Structure 1
């Protein structure tokens, strides 16, 4: 679910409300913010994962880092084809 959009800050926040992640986490949200590079072309993408585990036995979600990388690449490809 899209929780917030701030065009001025190039920020989007998504909140996970169902699915596999919710089996291990009480709450889970992704925030994506894009910042233009100073003095050059392109931008920097920052991902922030905010979560609360159901228990201490639940692992931190390092496996989602690769998902964030792949999504960033796909967004980049999409934006470049529209330019």
Structure 2
């Protein structure tokens, strides 16, 4: 049985796709103000924000306090895509590898998550695709009003 998996979801944005991409790329840590009930802290450990190679540590809450350390792997301004990989934290206990990718086309946001389970008992990443959708929806509403 393959332990590799991929999840995708689409979010229709009410705000400008360009505005959403710019915020997500350049003001990523400001998501703490957009979704404070789930996103607790963020700090850059290595590199510069919004630059490939940057490593960030996030504390978040999904029914229990969690930590994720992720690296910015790719930014494509033409395709409006951003890719992060998980390098440490709670997700690494469940998944050998975990990649988050966002891509915006017009006012459509596509989230893709590719991961390899650490073992057959590891759950699918449905909780994380739902969380990504929640973040996108909250940010979209914030951008419509600001």
Q: Aligned pairs, how many?
A: 76
RMSD (Å) for aligned C-alpha atoms:
1.3
Q: Mind listing any 5+ residue stretches in structure 2 that lack a counterpart? A: 1-70
Match of 1:34 in 2: 104
* 1:3 aligns with one of 73, 89, 92: 73
User: Are residue 17 (structure 1) and residue 94 (structure 2) matched?
Assistant: no
Match of 1:79 in 2: 143
When normalised by structure 1's length, the TM-score is: 0.82
Q: Which 4+ residue blocks in structure 1 deviate beyond 4 angstroms?
A: none
Whose RCO is larger (CA < 8 A, sep 6+)? 2
Question: In 2, distance between residues paired with 1:3 and 1:81?
Answer: 31
When normalised by structure 2's length, the TM-score is: 0.49
Deviation at 1:9, TM superposition (A): 0.1
Match of 2:118 in 1: 54
Deviation at 1:77, TM superposition (A): 3.1
Structure in which a larger fraction of residues adopt strand: 2
